[in-house]
Structure 1
Amino acid sequence: MNAPQRDITLRFLAEPQDVNFGGKVHGGAVMKWIDLAAYACAAGWSGRYCVTAYAGGIRFVAPIHVGSLVEVEAKVIYTGNSSIHIALEVNACDPKSLNRRLTTHCIVIMVAVDQNGQSERVPQWQPQTEADKKQHESAVKLMEMRKQIGEEMQIFVD
Protein backbone atom coordinates (compact mmCIF):
# COMPACT_ATOMS: atom_id res chain seq x y z
CA MET A 1 0.00 0.00 0.00
CA ASN A 2 1.24 3.50 -0.80
CA ALA A 3 1.90 5.93 2.03
CA PRO A 4 -0.78 8.59 2.55
CA GLN A 5 -0.15 11.87 0.76
CA ARG A 6 0.02 14.74 3.27
CA ASP A 7 -0.16 17.71 0.89
CA ILE A 8 -1.20 18.75 -2.58
CA THR A 9 -1.02 21.85 -4.76
CA LEU A 10 -3.62 22.64 -7.43
CA ARG A 11 -2.49 25.06 -10.17
CA PHE A 12 -4.57 26.74 -12.86
CA LEU A 13 -5.32 30.08 -14.50
CA ALA A 14 -8.10 32.33 -13.17
CA GLU A 15 -10.67 32.59 -15.95
CA PRO A 16 -13.10 35.36 -17.01
CA GLN A 17 -16.13 33.44 -15.64
CA ASP A 18 -14.55 33.71 -12.15
CA VAL A 19 -14.87 37.53 -12.07
CA ASN A 20 -17.17 39.48 -9.74
CA PHE A 21 -18.77 42.88 -10.39
CA GLY A 22 -15.59 44.60 -9.20
CA GLY A 23 -13.48 42.96 -11.90
CA LYS A 24 -11.58 40.64 -9.55
CA VAL A 25 -11.99 36.90 -8.93
CA HIS A 26 -15.16 36.27 -6.93
CA GLY A 27 -14.68 35.13 -3.32
CA GLY A 28 -17.08 32.26 -3.99
CA ALA A 29 -14.81 30.98 -6.76
CA VAL A 30 -11.85 31.08 -4.38
CA MET A 31 -13.87 29.18 -1.77
CA LYS A 32 -14.74 26.53 -4.38
CA TRP A 33 -11.05 26.12 -5.24
CA ILE A 34 -10.25 25.79 -1.53
CA ASP A 35 -12.91 23.09 -1.13
CA LEU A 36 -11.59 21.18 -4.15
CA ALA A 37 -8.02 21.25 -2.83
CA ALA A 38 -9.18 20.24 0.66
CA TYR A 39 -11.05 17.28 -0.82
CA ALA A 40 -8.06 16.19 -2.92
CA CYS A 41 -5.77 16.47 0.10
CA ALA A 42 -8.16 14.58 2.44
CA ALA A 43 -8.82 11.84 -0.12
CA GLY A 44 -5.09 11.49 -0.77
CA TRP A 45 -4.41 11.18 2.94
CA SER A 46 -7.25 8.83 3.85
CA GLY A 47 -7.78 6.85 0.66
CA ARG A 48 -11.49 7.48 1.20
CA TYR A 49 -14.30 9.71 -0.03
CA CYS A 50 -14.44 12.78 2.21
CA VAL A 51 -16.97 15.53 2.84
CA THR A 52 -16.51 19.07 4.11
CA ALA A 53 -17.49 19.43 7.76
CA TYR A 54 -16.09 22.91 8.43
CA ALA A 55 -14.43 25.79 6.65
CA GLY A 56 -13.33 28.73 8.74
CA GLY A 57 -10.89 31.47 9.42
CA ILE A 58 -11.06 32.42 5.75
CA ARG A 59 -9.00 35.54 5.16
CA PHE A 60 -9.03 37.25 1.79
CA VAL A 61 -5.68 39.02 1.94
CA ALA A 62 -5.35 40.28 -1.64
CA PRO A 63 -7.43 40.14 -4.83
CA ILE A 64 -6.83 37.70 -7.66
CA HIS A 65 -6.91 39.05 -11.19
CA VAL A 66 -8.24 37.23 -14.24
CA GLY A 67 -5.38 35.52 -16.04
CA SER A 68 -3.41 35.02 -12.83
CA LEU A 69 -1.69 31.72 -12.20
CA VAL A 70 -3.34 30.46 -9.02
CA GLU A 71 -1.88 27.89 -6.62
CA VAL A 72 -4.00 26.36 -3.87
CA GLU A 73 -1.78 24.54 -1.39
CA ALA A 74 -3.40 22.12 1.07
CA LYS A 75 -1.65 20.31 3.93
CA VAL A 76 -2.82 17.96 6.70
CA ILE A 77 -2.13 19.52 10.11
CA TYR A 78 -4.22 17.29 12.42
CA THR A 79 -6.25 14.08 12.28
CA GLY A 80 -9.02 12.86 14.54
CA ASN A 81 -10.76 9.50 14.32
CA SER A 82 -12.50 10.32 11.03
CA SER A 83 -11.62 14.00 10.57
CA ILE A 84 -8.73 15.55 8.72
CA HIS A 85 -7.82 19.16 9.49
CA ILE A 86 -6.25 20.89 6.52
CA ALA A 87 -4.46 24.24 6.30
CA LEU A 88 -4.87 25.95 2.95
CA GLU A 89 -3.07 28.82 1.29
CA VAL A 90 -3.98 30.46 -2.00
CA ASN A 91 -1.23 32.28 -3.89
CA ALA A 92 -1.47 34.05 -7.23
CA CYS A 93 0.83 35.73 -9.69
CA ASP A 94 1.12 37.00 -13.22
CA PRO A 95 2.30 33.91 -15.14
CA LYS A 96 4.90 36.03 -16.95
CA SER A 97 6.63 37.14 -13.73
CA LEU A 98 5.92 34.23 -11.36
CA ASN A 99 6.14 36.69 -8.44
CA ARG A 100 3.73 34.85 -6.11
CA ARG A 101 1.72 36.63 -3.43
CA LEU A 102 -0.57 35.30 -0.73
CA THR A 103 -4.23 36.01 -1.49
CA THR A 104 -6.24 33.79 0.87
CA HIS A 105 -5.75 31.33 3.73
CA CYS A 106 -7.99 29.20 5.95
CA ILE A 107 -8.60 25.88 7.69
CA VAL A 108 -10.96 23.19 6.37
CA ILE A 109 -12.03 20.04 8.19
CA MET A 110 -12.95 17.06 6.05
CA VAL A 111 -14.54 13.81 7.28
CA ALA A 112 -14.03 10.43 5.65
CA VAL A 113 -17.34 8.65 4.98
CA ASP A 114 -18.50 5.34 3.55
CA GLN A 115 -21.14 4.86 0.83
CA ASN A 116 -23.89 5.30 3.46
CA GLY A 117 -22.49 8.58 4.74
CA GLN A 118 -21.19 7.04 7.97
CA SER A 119 -17.83 8.28 9.18
CA GLU A 120 -14.79 6.05 8.69
CA ARG A 121 -11.43 5.97 10.46
CA VAL A 122 -8.52 7.77 8.85
CA PRO A 123 -4.78 7.20 9.18
CA GLN A 124 -3.35 9.23 12.04
CA TRP A 125 -0.90 12.00 11.20
CA GLN A 126 2.03 12.59 13.54
CA PRO A 127 3.97 15.87 13.41
CA GLN A 128 7.63 15.36 12.50
CA THR A 129 9.29 18.78 12.27
CA GLU A 130 9.12 21.79 14.58
CA ALA A 131 6.87 23.53 12.03
CA ASP A 132 4.59 20.46 12.01
CA LYS A 133 4.39 20.53 15.81
CA LYS A 134 3.46 24.22 15.84
CA GLN A 135 0.75 23.67 13.22
CA HIS A 136 -0.57 20.67 15.17
CA GLU A 137 -0.71 22.72 18.40
CA SER A 138 -2.47 25.51 16.53
CA ALA A 139 -5.05 23.03 15.18
CA VAL A 140 -5.79 21.87 18.75
CA LYS A 141 -6.21 25.48 19.94
CA LEU A 142 -8.51 26.22 16.99
CA MET A 143 -10.68 23.19 17.89
CA GLU A 144 -11.14 24.61 21.39
CA MET A 145 -12.00 28.04 19.98
CA ARG A 146 -14.51 26.55 17.49
CA LYS A 147 -16.27 24.81 20.37
CA GLN A 148 -16.65 28.15 22.19
CA ILE A 149 -17.80 29.89 19.01
CA GLY A 150 -20.31 27.08 18.37
CA GLU A 151 -21.77 27.57 21.84
CA GLU A 152 -22.05 31.33 21.26
CA MET A 153 -23.67 30.78 17.85
CA GLN A 154 -26.52 28.74 19.34
CA ILE A 155 -28.45 31.97 19.87
CA PHE A 156 -28.86 32.18 16.08
CA VAL A 157 -30.11 28.61 15.62
CA ASP A 158 -33.76 27.71 16.12
Structure 2
Amino acid sequence: MSTKIRDVTLRFLAEPSDVNFGGKVHGGAVMKWVDLAAYACAAGWSGKYCITAYAGGIRFVQPIHVGNLVEVSAKIIYTGKSSMHIAIDVQASDPKERQNRLTTHCIVIMVAVDEDGKPTSVPEWTPTTAEDIHLQESAIKLMEMRKTIGEQMETHVKHLK
Protein backbone atom coordinates (compact mmCIF):
# COMPACT_ATOMS: atom_id res chain seq x y z
CA MET A 1 0.00 0.00 0.00
CA SER A 2 1.63 3.25 -1.09
CA THR A 3 -0.43 5.77 0.86
CA LYS A 4 -1.31 5.10 4.48
CA ILE A 5 -4.43 6.86 5.73
CA ARG A 6 -4.10 7.92 9.37
CA ASP A 7 -7.63 9.22 9.92
CA VAL A 8 -11.14 8.81 8.63
CA THR A 9 -14.53 10.41 9.25
CA LEU A 10 -17.82 8.62 8.66
CA ARG A 11 -20.94 10.77 8.21
CA PHE A 12 -24.61 9.80 8.21
CA LEU A 13 -28.02 10.72 9.59
CA ALA A 14 -29.27 9.18 12.85
CA GLU A 15 -32.36 7.14 11.98
CA PRO A 16 -35.52 6.26 13.94
CA SER A 17 -34.29 2.64 14.14
CA ASP A 18 -31.32 3.89 16.23
CA VAL A 19 -33.53 5.21 19.07
CA ASN A 20 -33.72 3.78 22.60
CA PHE A 21 -36.72 3.81 24.95
CA GLY A 22 -35.81 7.34 26.07
CA GLY A 23 -36.14 8.75 22.56
CA LYS A 24 -32.41 9.33 22.01
CA VAL A 25 -29.94 7.34 19.91
CA HIS A 26 -29.09 4.08 21.68
CA GLY A 27 -25.58 3.76 23.13
CA GLY A 28 -25.21 0.43 21.35
CA ALA A 29 -25.80 2.12 18.00
CA VAL A 30 -23.10 4.67 18.82
CA MET A 31 -20.70 1.87 19.80
CA LYS A 32 -21.37 0.15 16.47
CA TRP A 33 -20.54 3.38 14.61
CA VAL A 34 -17.36 3.73 16.70
CA ASP A 35 -16.30 0.18 15.75
CA LEU A 36 -16.98 0.81 12.06
CA ALA A 37 -14.89 3.98 12.06
CA ALA A 38 -12.07 2.28 13.99
CA TYR A 39 -12.03 -0.56 11.44
CA ALA A 40 -11.96 1.85 8.48
CA CYS A 41 -9.12 3.79 10.09
CA ALA A 42 -7.07 0.70 11.01
CA ALA A 43 -7.56 -0.97 7.62
CA GLY A 44 -6.65 2.26 5.86
CA TRP A 45 -3.44 2.58 7.88
CA SER A 46 -2.34 -1.05 7.78
CA GLY A 47 -3.74 -2.15 4.43
CA LYS A 48 -4.90 -5.33 6.20
CA TYR A 49 -7.99 -6.87 7.73
CA CYS A 50 -8.27 -5.77 11.36
CA ILE A 51 -10.19 -6.91 14.42
CA THR A 52 -11.24 -5.02 17.54
CA ALA A 53 -9.10 -5.96 20.55
CA TYR A 54 -10.27 -3.28 22.98
CA ALA A 55 -12.72 -0.42 23.25
CA GLY A 56 -12.59 1.61 26.42
CA GLY A 57 -12.89 4.88 28.17
CA ILE A 58 -16.11 5.53 26.31
CA ARG A 59 -17.79 8.72 27.45
CA PHE A 60 -21.30 9.60 26.40
CA VAL A 61 -21.14 13.38 26.78
CA GLN A 62 -24.40 14.46 25.12
CA PRO A 63 -27.30 12.63 23.47
CA ILE A 64 -27.73 12.23 19.74
CA HIS A 65 -31.21 12.90 18.37
CA VAL A 66 -32.97 11.25 15.45
CA GLY A 67 -32.30 13.28 12.32
CA ASN A 68 -28.93 14.57 13.58
CA LEU A 69 -26.02 14.56 11.18
CA VAL A 70 -23.47 12.33 12.93
CA GLU A 71 -19.71 12.48 12.31
CA VAL A 72 -17.52 9.71 13.70
CA SER A 73 -13.85 10.67 13.44
CA ALA A 74 -11.09 8.11 13.99
CA LYS A 75 -7.36 8.85 14.17
CA ILE A 76 -4.29 6.66 14.79
CA ILE A 77 -2.50 7.86 17.94
CA TYR A 78 -0.11 4.94 18.57
CA THR A 79 1.07 1.81 16.80
CA GLY A 80 2.56 -1.36 18.25
CA LYS A 81 3.83 -4.40 16.34
CA SER A 82 0.36 -5.45 15.15
CA SER A 83 -1.90 -3.04 17.03
CA MET A 84 -3.19 0.44 16.33
CA HIS A 85 -4.58 2.68 19.05
CA ILE A 86 -7.30 4.88 17.64
CA ALA A 87 -8.89 7.96 19.20
CA ILE A 88 -12.56 8.30 18.32
CA ASP A 89 -14.72 11.42 18.56
CA VAL A 90 -18.42 11.37 17.76
CA GLN A 91 -20.07 14.69 16.99
CA ALA A 92 -23.64 15.49 16.04
CA SER A 93 -25.57 18.47 14.78
CA ASP A 94 -28.85 19.53 13.28
CA PRO A 95 -28.07 19.24 9.55
CA LYS A 96 -29.73 22.62 8.91
CA GLU A 97 -27.35 24.37 11.34
CA ARG A 98 -24.16 22.28 11.14
CA GLN A 99 -22.93 23.33 14.59
CA ASN A 100 -21.18 20.17 15.75
CA ARG A 101 -21.17 19.22 19.42
CA LEU A 102 -19.13 16.43 20.95
CA THR A 103 -21.40 13.55 21.98
CA THR A 104 -19.04 10.65 22.60
CA HIS A 105 -15.33 9.86 22.70
CA CYS A 106 -13.19 6.81 23.41
CA ILE A 107 -10.11 4.79 22.49
CA VAL A 108 -10.25 1.63 20.36
CA ILE A 109 -7.38 -0.79 19.77
CA MET A 110 -7.46 -2.69 16.50
CA VAL A 111 -5.14 -5.56 15.57
CA ALA A 112 -4.15 -6.43 12.01
CA VAL A 113 -4.46 -10.13 11.24
CA ASP A 114 -3.34 -12.40 8.41
CA GLU A 115 -5.39 -14.97 6.49
CA ASP A 116 -5.12 -17.40 9.43
CA GLY A 117 -6.38 -14.82 11.93
CA LYS A 118 -2.93 -14.39 13.49
CA PRO A 119 -1.61 -10.91 14.37
CA THR A 120 0.56 -9.43 11.65
CA SER A 121 2.79 -6.37 11.56
CA VAL A 122 1.55 -2.85 10.84
CA PRO A 123 3.45 0.21 9.65
CA GLU A 124 4.80 2.33 12.48
CA TRP A 125 3.19 5.72 13.03
CA THR A 126 5.55 8.45 14.20
CA PRO A 127 4.12 11.67 15.64
CA THR A 128 5.41 14.91 14.13
CA THR A 129 3.44 17.66 15.88
CA ALA A 130 3.30 18.60 19.56
CA GLU A 131 -0.35 17.54 19.66
CA ASP A 132 0.45 14.16 18.12
CA ILE A 133 3.32 13.60 20.58
CA HIS A 134 0.90 14.37 23.42
CA LEU A 135 -1.68 11.93 21.99
CA GLN A 136 0.93 9.18 21.67
CA GLU A 137 2.16 9.75 25.24
CA SER A 138 -1.43 9.59 26.44
CA ALA A 139 -1.98 6.31 24.58
CA ILE A 140 1.12 4.83 26.25
CA LYS A 141 -0.08 5.92 29.71
CA LEU A 142 -3.51 4.41 29.05
CA MET A 143 -1.85 1.17 27.93
CA GLU A 144 0.05 1.00 31.22
CA MET A 145 -3.13 1.68 33.21
CA ARG A 146 -5.00 -1.08 31.31
CA LYS A 147 -2.28 -3.56 32.29
CA THR A 148 -2.77 -2.69 35.96
CA ILE A 149 -6.54 -2.88 35.65
CA GLY A 150 -6.21 -6.22 33.82
CA GLU A 151 -4.15 -7.64 36.67
CA GLN A 152 -6.81 -6.53 39.16
CA MET A 153 -9.59 -7.99 37.01
CA GLU A 154 -7.91 -11.42 37.08
CA THR A 155 -9.33 -11.85 40.59
CA HIS A 156 -12.84 -11.54 39.18
CA VAL A 157 -12.17 -13.72 36.15
CA LYS A 158 -10.77 -16.57 38.30
CA HIS A 159 -13.79 -16.27 40.55
CA LEU A 160 -16.12 -16.85 37.59
CA LYS A 161 -14.33 -20.02 36.43
- TM-score category (smaller protein): over 0.9
SS of the aligned residue for 2:58 comes to: strand
Following the alignment from structure 2 to structure 1, what is the Cα–Cα distance between the partners of residues 87 and 114? 24
Matched residue, 2:101: 101
SS of the aligned residue for 2:150 comes to: helix
Deviation string for 1:50-70 (max 9, x for gaps)?
000000000000000000000
Deviation string for 1:84-136 (max 9, x for gaps)?
00000000000000010000000000000011110100000000100000000
Give the AA of the match of 1:100: N
Matched residue, 2:134: 134
Aligned CA RMSD, in angstroms, stands at 0.6
Q: Does 1:32 align with 2:32?
A: yes
> Map of 1:135-154 to 2, 5 A cutoff?
135-154=135-154
SS of the aligned residue for 1:77 comes to: strand
> Map of 1:36-47 to 2, 5 A cutoff?
36-47=36-47
Following the alignment from structure 2 to structure 1, what is the Cα–Cα distance between the partners of residues 135 and 8? 17
Q: Does 1:113 align with 2:113?
A: yes
Following the alignment from structure 2 to structure 1, what is the Cα–Cα distance between the partners of residues 92 and 150? 33
Following the alignment from structure 1 to structure 2, what is the Cα–Cα distance between the partners of residues 122 and 68? 35
Give the AA of the match of 1:124: E
TM-score by length of 2: 0.97
Following the alignment from structure 1 to structure 2, what is the Cα–Cα distance between the partners of residues 3 and 69? 29
Give the AA of the match of 1:127: P
Q: Does 1:18 align with 2:18?
A: yes
Moved >2 Å (runs of 4+): none
- Matched residue count: 158
Matched residue, 2:61: 61
In the TM superposition, what is the alpha-carbon distance from 1:2 to its structure 2 partner? 2.1
Matched residue, 2:6: 6
In the TM superposition, what is the alpha-carbon distance from 1:156 to its structure 2 partner? 1.6
Following the alignment from structure 1 to structure 2, what is the Cα–Cα distance between the partners of residues 156 and 12? 39
Following the alignment from structure 1 to structure 2, what is the Cα–Cα distance between the partners of residues 64 and 85? 25
Give the AA of the match of 1:111: V
